Structure 1
């Protein structure tokens, strides 16, 4: 039995299948960071760290001659474990066994939203407590002002792409943008009749990525090997406990993130 304790939950195989399907449907569209970073994993729950390929000098043990010994400790980036609890009514799980297609899983939807926002926020804005420096704080480029007028977006994004090229960062490029800005893009049509979304993808040579948890936006290279998301246990549903009315579950994953080329992204405010 693994640490998710699914084997002792009062949930049938059919109900587990439905919960897993619903979790995936809610999570996948919101995991914007996974669409722009190199993804490594899943390596399993036991995977604890990522080697940084570096060392730091340390003193030898007590009793050794400091002048005769050169000691170094290899540096690693530990994975963070994240858990978001949610509940499912036992009556809904029973109805799943009966073949119901319209299960009431609102709390799972909330948990999926929180989990996706956390992962995206860690990747883009950083998570100091977990040793993660995000794409935006790592970038040495001054942020460009995107503003709220969608008509300005093509010019600003073209400027960002040009700055990346001048910095020697090749494309294709992607625009990661929060929900408010993404909605502006999807609703806008230019004077030529062309959808703004189509124009932006032509400028980028890549995609526009809806990224909940990203406060503003960023243009970044998709050439690869600049941003690394490492996952130990991929997003999974685990079991906690139950009472007469509800089963208490959770979404869980372990991950870390690192930027290996800070020049490969330009923040937009």
Structure 2
């Protein structure tokens, strides 16, 4: 038995299959940051920290100071554990055993959205209590201004890409943008009927425009790799908490750290 306690849940195999499939499908929609950064792992639930490859000098014990002993402490970034609960009606799982394939998992959908929001914000805006510095905070450039007119977005993004290139950052590039901005893009066309989305992809050197829940504003960042690292201990999994006669309480759980290794690889657009 592992820490997810799935063996204790009164859930038949078909019920678990549908829960896992639904969680996987919903999470794929919300975990936008993972599609724009390097993902390492998963390394397992017992993996507790990310090595930073650096040390901090500390004083040796008094008994060793007369021999000029050098003592250094390895620096690490602890992983943060995230758990978001949700409920499932037992009747839905009984229907799964009868062959139903249209089960209602509304609360699971909301939990998946919450996990995606949390992870995306940690990547882009950081999480001080978890020791995480986000891409927005790490970027050394003055913020650009995206504005509210989608027809100007390709010009603004092209200038941002040019700034990254001039600083030696290779493409292709991505535009991470909040959901409202993304909706404006897909609904807009420039004069002549060309999609703004097509112009943005060209400006990004064949990269992608990614709807990113939890992001404030937008960020142009390199997709060349090695600049931003999301390290997973346990990847998102469904665990069992408790149940009563009508409802089961489950949860989505993961552990991760995030670090920026090349701050110059992203430019923020307000």
- The answer to whether TM tops 0.5 is yes
Size of the aligned set, in residue pairs, is: 269
Q: Give, in whole Å, the separation in 2 of the partners of 1:140 and 1:65.
A: 41
Q: Which residue number corresponds to residue 176 of structure 1? A: 176
Partner Cα separation in structure 2 for residue 96 and residue 255 of structure 1: 33
CA separation of 1:66/1:228 partners in 2, compared to 1, >3 Å: closer, same or farther? farther
Alignment partner, residue 186 of structure 1? 186
Structure 1 pair 137/102, CA: closer, same or farther in 2 (3 Å)?
A: same
* CA distance in 1: counterparts of 2:21 and 2:70, whole angstroms: 54
Equivalent residue number for residue 238 of structure 2: 237
8 Å CA contact 1:60, 1:66 repeated in 2: no
3-state SS of 2:57 partner: strand
Find the counterpart in structure 1 of residue 121 from structure 2.
121
Q: Which residue of 2 aligns with 1:22?
A: 22
Aligned residue in 1 for 2:213: 212
Distance in 2 between residues matched to 1:96 and 1:195, nearest whole Å = 43
Q: Which residue of 1 aligns with 2:93?
A: 93
CA offsets 1:76-127 (integer angstroms, 9 cap, x no match): 1111000000000111111111111221111001100000000000000000
> What secondary structure, in the 3-state scheme, does the structure 2 residue paired with 1:189 have?
coil
What does 1:48-127 align with in structure 2 at a 5 Å threshold? 48-65=48-65, 68-127=68-127
Using the size of structure 1 for normalisation, the TM-score is 0.98
Judge which range, 66-75 or 39-48, deviates more. 66-75
| Deviation digits for residues 203-230 of structure 1 (CA, Å, limit 9, x no counterpart) | 1020001111111110001111000010
Q: Does 1:258 align with 2:255?
A: no
Q: Is the 8 A contact 1:189 1:196 kept in 2?
A: yes
Tell me, which stretches of 5 or more residues in structure 2 are unaligned?
Answer: none
Whether the aligned pair in 2 keeps the contact of 1:4 and 1:238 (CA below 8 Å) is yes
- Partners of 1:38 and 1:18 in 2: CA distance: 29
* Residue 133 of structure 1: how far off its partner (Å): 0.2
TM-score (norm 2): 0.98
Does structure 1 residue 148 correspond to structure 2 residue 138?
Answer: no
- The structural deviation recorded for 1:64 is 2.8
User: Which portions of structure 1, spanning 4 or more consecutive aligned residues, are displaced by more than 3 angstroms?
Assistant: none
Partner SS for 2:68: coil
Q: CA RMSD in A?
A: 0.9
Q: Give, in whole Å, the separation in 1 of the partners of 2:66 and 2:252.
A: 49
Give 1:68 deviation, angstroms.
2.0
- Is structure 2 residue 197 aligned with structure 1 residue 197? yes
Unaligned stretches of 5+ in structure 1? none
Contact 1:59 1:66 in 2 (8 A): no
